[in-house]
Amino acid sequence: MKSSVLTHKNLLVFVLTVAMVVSFLPVKIARHVAAWPRDFVAAAIAPLTQPLRKVGNAIRGESSFVQVGFPINAQAITTQESYLELIAYTRQLQEQLNQARQIITQLGELRRVVIDGVRLLPAEVIAYQSDTNIERLTINRGKNHGIVEGMPVANGAHLVGRISFAGAKTSTVKLITSPGTRLVVRTASPIMPVSQHEALLQLIVGHDANRGVFVARGDQGDPIVAGDLAHLVDDRWPSSAMGLIVGKVLSIEPDAKTPLLRTQVRIVPMYPLSRLNQVLVILPEEVSP
């Protein structure tokens, strides 16, 4: 009696061995192995995660659609079905109109800041994930739409992050609030043009209690006040991202170690980046899908 090699136990051992080998592949190869399945799973769950995110944001009090209430007339029973269909259709149109308005507003804000020679690609956020050392959003645009890793992502005139992974249909945006992010910014009053301010700070995002807050050390006498906006001037980022708003100065306190000489400046993004529903990817003009 022949014993078959393809037993269940052998198959299980084979799969576990392959998993062990793949776990220890160099990152250049491991990324390629995981790229297609990752993109496939993100695209597969997108139809469900997108509306769930909106529901989650609505529960937190940031609704992205307008709730319209129509009284149902008990006497109009014969036309109730078509009436309810019309209500549902009207709500759908209003939601689409609100989304279009948001995109137009974002484009308008961004055009005041970003230089010419770029294309702006609107994208819907389909997921948010947070780990100990990275915060990221997944968007429903990928290489098929011209996206490449490293491209900056904005929401209006506010910097959101950079494309850290580009699949065929989805991409991942590493948020600027990820721990360890370092940005060079210039502060400016909200009512004055950026070019008129001189203070230059290097920012570091803090961990734990300061999660999501940018902390920098300035000098006593710096022309910075709470409420100033911090604009990106970091040359490690593409030029198309220069001038985008990183956040708002929350407080300026004496530095714990050298209170007479230095200050600790805390800057927070103006909107919670984890709850964004739409973003704009800044593409070079010559890139085509």
Quote the least distance from Cβ 27 to other proteins, whole Å. 5
Is 120 or 134 the residue whose CB approaches other proteins more closely?
A: 134
Work out whether 60 is an interface residue with other proteins (CB under 8 A).
yes
By CB under 8 A, the residues from 205 to 224 that bind other proteins are: 207, 211
Is 204 or 287 the residue whose CB approaches other proteins more closely?
A: 204
By CB under 8 A, the residues from 166 to 185 that bind other proteins are: 172, 174, 178-180
The residue from 79, 92, 101, 149 that contacts other proteins (CB under 8 A) is 149
Show the 3-state SS of the chain: CCCCCCCHHHHHHHHHHHHHHHHCCCHHHHHHHHHHHHHHHHHHHHHHHHHHHHHHHHHCCCCCCCCCCCCCCCCCCCCHHHHHHHHHHHHHHHHHHHHHHHHHHHHHHHHHHCCCCEEEEEEEEEEEEECCCCEEEEECCCHHHCCCCCCEEEECCEEEEEEEEECCCCEEEEECCCCCCEEEEEEECCCCCHHHCCCEEEEEEECHHHECCEEEEEECCCCCCCCCEEEECCCCCCHHHCCCEEEEEEEEEECCCCCCCEEEEEEECCCCHHHCCEEEEEEECCCCC
The residue from 4, 82, 133, 196 that contacts other proteins (CB under 8 A) is 133
Work out whether 164 is an interface residue with other proteins (CB under 8 A).
yes
Work out whether 129 is an interface residue with other proteins (CB under 8 A).
yes
Is 83 or 271 the residue whose CB approaches other proteins more closely?
A: 271
Work out whether 141 is an interface residue with other proteins (CB under 8 A).
no
Applying CB under 8 A, which part among 49-57, 187-195, 227-235, 281-289 lies near other proteins? 49-57
Q: State the amino acid at position 197 in one-letter form.
A: H
The residue from 102, 130, 189, 210 that contacts other proteins (CB under 8 A) is 130
Which spans of this chain sit near other proteins (rule: CB under 8 A)?
A: 8, 12, 15-16, 19-20, 22-24, 26-28, 30-31, 33-34, 37-38, 41, 44-45, 48-53, 55-57, 59-60, 127-134, 136, 138, 149-150, 162-165, 172, 174, 178-180, 207, 211, 274-275
